[in-house]
Structure 1
Amino acid sequence: MRKVALLWAFIVGISFPSLAQKDKKASEVLDAMSKKYQTLNSYKALFSYAGEGGTYKGDLTVKKAAFRLKLAGQEVFTDGKTMSTYIKETNEVNVQDYDAGAAGDFNPTKIYSIYKQGYNYKYIGEQKQGGQAVEVVELTPEKKNTQITKVQISVNKADKSVKGWKLTDKTGKLTTYTIDKFTPNVAVADSYFVFDKSKYPGVEVVDLR
């Protein structure tokens, strides 16, 4: 169960940023990031997750409406129509119709546009992360009593890709995601985003459709 919670913590994390108040500098940073992602046909991001449960490595690949996420012994596949969630520990996969609006509007294929409504934001400043210059924007929800109370997004100043983000929840717990390697326009077949049970011997398929 802890690993399931970890995976969905990632999902909620990258779905959070939607913005409202207009801090000019923050808007410039986010618009540049948006423009960057809109020019990509696909991308791959290797990342680190750090929270109360420890530190983990993850892998996200996105191609148009499809994505594949690997984190903490689990994999999520979607081709934009069907979502399959594989749990290594139990050798089980749950298959369901993909709802792009589920899990708090989680959709990593829309990372460039999820910031456009619903939250306040401000420019924090320029920092160094991993030897690279990043620009940090802080987001806070307009609604009260939300699970996540603050998010800081770091955008690589040079190439405008997302370098990482920090989430603070209503209990004060901090969760950090850091992009260790970002590769734009990776060559990846459409079949990569579809769960192939022949590659997982003995897997139990739970069809929830």
Structure 2
Amino acid sequence: MKNLKMNAFLLAVLFVFLGGSAFAQGDKKSSAILEAMSNKYQKIKSFKAAFTYLPEGGKPLKGEATVKGTKFRLKMAGQEIFNDGKLMATYIKETNEVNLQDFDPTAGGDLDPTRIYSAYKKGFKYAFLKEKKEGAKVLEVVELTSTNKSSQVDKVQIEVNKADKSINSWKIFQKNGQEVLYKVDQFQPDVTVADTYFTFNAKQYPGVEVVDLR
């Protein structure tokens, strides 16, 4: 379940920061907001994001994601996922164990970050909901609703800063009734990161148990 939550985050973050071409049909106001937001972010080649993850009824958790093209590394809830585009390694700190498996971009369905463009291009419509204030910020709220019956996601509500079109937060409503809020705490665009950063190195984790699932 933790891996599912992690992939849900990656889906959301890649969508809102990079997925301008993936928008489906919607009203003019929501379309203008999403296009402006997308134009701001779509030239970003890599990024590092710190975020707060808040499941409904649960305690807030902190996380961090670094993304470069199809490669990503994600830290959250005692786990760390390394993906170099070919091999995915999931490290569990509590047990000092890492699971290795071939990265299959088709396995995650709508929750796979490498399929975000096609997933949203085919299955969502959107609408402007409202403006709201958060401190000195004015936020524009847009809701994306799934039209794909097989999707695990029912809808996503995105809050966009009206002044600079940056992402403030997004909330994922899953069809099983679960709700998850992600809030951006810090965002660094175009970070310099070596490809080796996305590959798990057992030498850096003394005594780690390697479980090869390939």
- Give yes or no for TM over 0.5: yes
Deviation at 1:107, TM superposition (A): 4.5
Aligned partners of 2:192, 2:67: CA distance in 1, in Å? Answer: 11
Pick aligned residue for 1:37 from 38, 41, 53: 41
Identical aligned residues as a percent:
53
**Residues 203 and 193 of structure 1: CA distance in aligned 2, closer, same or farther (over 3 Å):** same
Assess if the C-alpha contact under 8 Å between 2:91 and 2:99 holds in 1. yes
Question: Secondary structure of 2:154's match?
Answer: strand
Amino acid at match of 1:187: T
Question: How many residues in Structure 1 have an aligned counterpart in Structure 2?
Answer: 205
Q: Does 1:26 align with 2:22?
A: no
Alpha-carbon displacement from aligned partner over 1:33-74 (angstroms, at most 9, x marks no partner): 332332112111100011134210000111122111101000
Q: Which residue of structure 1 lines up, in the alignment, with residue 90 of structure 2?
A: 85
Amino acid at match of 2:7: I
Q: Does 1:126 align with 2:131?
A: yes
Pick aligned residue for 2:210 from 196, 205, 208: 205
Assess if the C-alpha contact under 8 Å between 1:62 and 1:109 holds in 2. no
Aligned partners of 1:168, 1:205: CA distance in 2, in Å? Answer: 35
Q: Does 1:176 align with 2:205?
A: no
Q: Which residue of structure 2 lines up, in the alignment, with residue 8 of structure 1?
A: 4
My pick for the range that moved more, 192-201 or 112-121, is 112-121
Alignment of 1:153-172 (within 5 A): 153-170=158-175, 172=177
My pick for the range that moved more, 161-170 or 44-53, is 161-170
Deviation at 1:139, TM superposition (A): 1.4
Q: Which residue of structure 2 lines up, in the alignment, with residue 137 of structure 1?
A: 142
Q: Which residue of structure 2 lines up, in the alignment, with residue 185 of structure 1?
A: 190
Amino acid at match of 1:183: Q
Assess if the C-alpha contact under 8 Å between 1:15 and 1:104 holds in 2. no
Alpha-carbon displacement from aligned partner over 1:141-198 (angstroms, at most 9, x marks no partner): 1144854322201223344333221122345443211011111111212111111111
Runs of 5+ unmatched residues, structure 2? 16-21
TM-score (norm 2): 0.82
Question: Secondary structure of 2:122's match?
Answer: coil
Pick aligned residue for 1:194 from 183, 193, 199: 199
Structure holding more helix per residue? 2
Question: Secondary structure of 2:33's match?
Answer: helix
Q: Does 1:59 align with 2:64?
A: yes
RMSD: 2.6
Q: Does 1:105 align with 2:110?
A: yes
Assess if the C-alpha contact under 8 Å between 1:100 and 1:106 holds in 2. no
**Residues 68 and 175 of structure 1: CA distance in aligned 2, closer, same or farther (over 3 Å):** same
Q: Which residue of structure 1 lines up, in the alignment, with residue 50 of structure 2?
A: 46
